[in-house]
Every structure is written in structure tokens, then in C-alpha cells.
Structure 1
Amino acid sequence: MSKWFPWLYDMAMKPLEQLKLTKRRKLLINNATGRVLEIGSGTGVNFPYYTNAIRVDAIEPNSLMRDRSHKRKYTTTIQTYLVGAEKLPFADNTFDSVVGTLVFCTIPEPTKALEEIQRVSKSGAKILLLEHVRLNNKFLGEIQDIATPVWKRLCDGCHLNRNTEALIKNSRLSILKKESFYRGLFITIQCLNNKSSTDKAHDKLMP
């Protein structure tokens, strides 16, 4: 990756952020309370919006993106870690809230990441996501499929056609609220980590 990519990323996203995403980010992150985990913090776009968090632990596997995030202005205590989402360096039941914005498209093993999120967050923790997803429109969805291999190479592994909602539905998280915008290209999802009930149900099935 070029050392200019984080800067180019912020510049390319700026018009979209101003039109729609900044408002959505603020509304979503306003629900993040207590000790918060951010998955894939990138260049730190979300950092100024953590007004209700006590502390934020932010993971980002790309060192260039992480370095740029340190230049953001914010008031909440934020610690960054140079790690991926598939193996989180935190104890079980650590976090009250988890935030991820425009990140699941790039995670190599998203199912493992969801399992790790559930492990390190408390029972009843809020999981707050903003993602771009594969469109339901057959023609446009197929265009995303065709474009994805090239797009991944250009944009740090981003999958244009990843169906993140389906991944969540197949996980042990419960979707409480979903909103879509930009004709379904972007979604916000608020989930609940209800692992206490699912763990009990799993234990009953064990011999």
C-alpha cells in the first residue's frame, strides 16, 4: 500500500461523508456507551464522535491508517492497537459497546471477527455497524460482483459485494434495528450480544 493511501482515502470519502455518512456516524456512535471497542478504526474518522464513551479501544491492522488516526482531535480516552479483528487481544466480557463502520467489507475472515466481537463484549452489549453491502438489484449486484476482484486490489481488500447483513444473521448476534440508505448500498445495524441465552441453549444441546 502506498503511504499516500490513507490521505487519498480521506479525500475520496469527503464528499460522501459531507452528504450522508457523517450524520449517520454521529447518530450510530451516540449509542456507544461505557468501554467501547472499535473494529477497524482506519484514519480515526469516528474518534471525535465518542461523546458517551468512557474509553475506546480501537483496532486497526494497517499501520499507515492507524498513524493518520493519531492526528485527529478528540476528547475521549482512545487507545489504538495494530491488530486484526479475527484475534482480538482482549479478555472475555470486556466491552459494553462495539462499533464498526465501513470495515466488514475488508476483514479477510468476517465470521471469525463476529465470533471474537461476541467473545470480548459483555452479554447485552450493543454492536453498532455502518456498512456498504451488495445491492439487492440483480443487475447492479452483478456489477459489484464483477468489479470486486479489481476493487479489492485497489482499495486495501475491500469487497464491494459482501453481504454483511447475512453474516450477522448467521451469527449469534440479535439484530434490533436496521436502516438502509443510498438505495440500499449502505446500511446501519444495531445488534445485541445475547450470548448468555445462546450459551445456555448451546449447553442444553451438549451431551
Structure 2
Amino acid sequence: MMGNTFPKWYDFFMSPLEKGRFKSIRRDLLQRANGTVLEVGSGTGINFPYYQSVKKVTAIEPSQNMIERSNKRTELSIVPIQIIRESAERLPFVDNTFDTVVATLVLCTIPNPEIALQEMKRVCKLDGKILLFEHVRMKNPFLAKLQDWLTPFWKKVCDGCNLNRDTVMMIKSNGLEILEKRTFYNGLFVQLEIMKK
């Protein structure tokens, strides 16, 4: 369960990245969203101002502290945004509900990411898309080992964030097809456009 401290400091520590490269990565990713959108793990609402050509965004976030910090960003969005307190592992929607499902920097923290991926797949329409921006296990053996070494400490500081999850492999093994993949920071971050198989 997320504590009170992490939500308070999240935006502060992420600000240098969010004002730099992350801003263009998020904008590019979310320009591909269309129709009705589900955002999984919306956090402090950093994505909300970037939604443009969509009908509505339904945001799922398990932390009440994060939701409270995100409320002000709903006012910066030009599209309607509804925030629901719920976990990614049990999405309260029927099958094939959303045109687009979005998750950014969240699969690293979800306790059961494979279940969350299956839920995202379930609620996404058959002709819909899943858009992800995540940090992942690096291909460089030395850097991957460094991620393994740092993860136990990192999880304690960052409320369960796993630096070394092989998210790309997990996506492929859960019946999802990667249509487009872009990498950043020597492969530490990936931007993915995905469809159901």
C-alpha cells in the first residue's frame, strides 16, 4: 500500500525528467489515443493535460493520496476525466469497453503486473490499442545486473518500484502484439503501441 510520503514528493523528484524528454515522450504517446480511454495507474495526473483527440478518460488509481494530488490536473485537461480508486488487477469494467488503454511508468510498481496486463487486454476493444511508456530491464548484461542489485533498495524508497522487470517479454507472453517500439536512455525506457493478437 502506498504511503503518504511518496505521493507528496513524486512530482518534485520527477520534475527534471518531466520538463525535459519525458514531456515529448508522453505527448507523442498520448496523441495516438482515441475514443474512450482507460488510464491505468494515473498517479498525480501528469498525463491529463496531454489528452487531445479523445472522447473521455477514465483513470484508475489505487492511492487516495495520489488521486487528491491529481485533481488539480483534471482542470488542465480539455477532455472529461473521471478518476476511480481501484487497482489494475481488478478493473471494474466489462470486456471490450475502451478504444485505448494507457499505462505510463506503472507496470514497474503493480504487485501482479501479469494480471494487470490481462485485465488491460480484457477491457480493450478488439480493434483497440494499448499504449505504454515504461522503464524496463536493460539488455546490457552489466546494467541489468546493476538493476538487480539496486532493486531491493529502490523498492523501499519508491513504494515497490521494480527497476528490473522484463516488461517487454511479459507483454509478449501475455498474448499481446507490439506494433511499434521506441527506446530511450540506452534502452532503460520504452514506448510501446500494442494490440491484441
Q: Equivalents in 1 of 2:122, 2:39: separation in Å?
A: 14
SS in structure 1 at match of 2:159? coil
Structure 1: runs of 5+ lacking an equivalent:
195-207
2:30 paired with 1:29: yes
Query: Counterparts of 1:106 and 1:61 in 2: how far apart (Å)?
Result: 12
Q: Does residue 68 of structure 1 match 2:84?
A: no
Which whole-Å CA distance do the structure 1 matches of 2:28 and 2:161 have between them?
A: 24
Q: Check whether the contact 2:39–2:101 (CA below 8 A) recurs between aligned residues.
A: yes
Q: Which residue number in structure 2 is paired with residue 181 of structure 1?
A: 184
Question: What is the TM-score normalised by the length of structure 1?
Answer: 0.91
Give 1:9 shift. 0.8
Q: 2:156 aligns with which of 153, 158, 178?
A: 153
1:2 deviates by: 4.7
Q: Secondary structure at the match of 1:71?
A: helix
CA distance in 2 between counterparts of 1:71 and 1:50 reads 15
Runs of 4 or more off by more than 6 Å in structure 1? none
What number of residue pairs does the alignment pair up?
Answer: 194
Q: Which has the larger radius of gyration?
A: 1
Tell me which residue corresponds to 1:51. Answer: 52
Equivalent residue in structure 2 for 1:168, among 168, 171, 189 = 171
Counterpart of 1:139 in structure 2 is 142
For 1:54-133, list aligned pairs within 5 A.
Answer: 54-72=55-73, 73-133=76-136
| Preserved contact between residue 27 and residue 50 of structure 2 (Cα < 8 Å) | yes
Amino acid at match of 1:140: L
AA aligned to 2:82 is Q
What's the TM-score, normalizing by structure 2?
A: 0.95
Q: C-alpha root-mean-square deviation of aligned residues, in Å?
A: 1.1
CA contact (8 A) 2:55 2:80 kept: yes
Take 1:75 and 1:51, find their aligned partners in 2: how far apart are those partners?
A: 7
The gaps in structure 2 that reach 5 residues or longer are: none
Identity across the alignment (%): 52
- Residue type matched to 1:46 in 2? N
Which whole-Å CA distance do the structure 2 matches of 1:71 and 1:163 have between them?
33
2:3 & 2:58 partners in 1: Cα distance?
26
SS at match of 1:75: coil
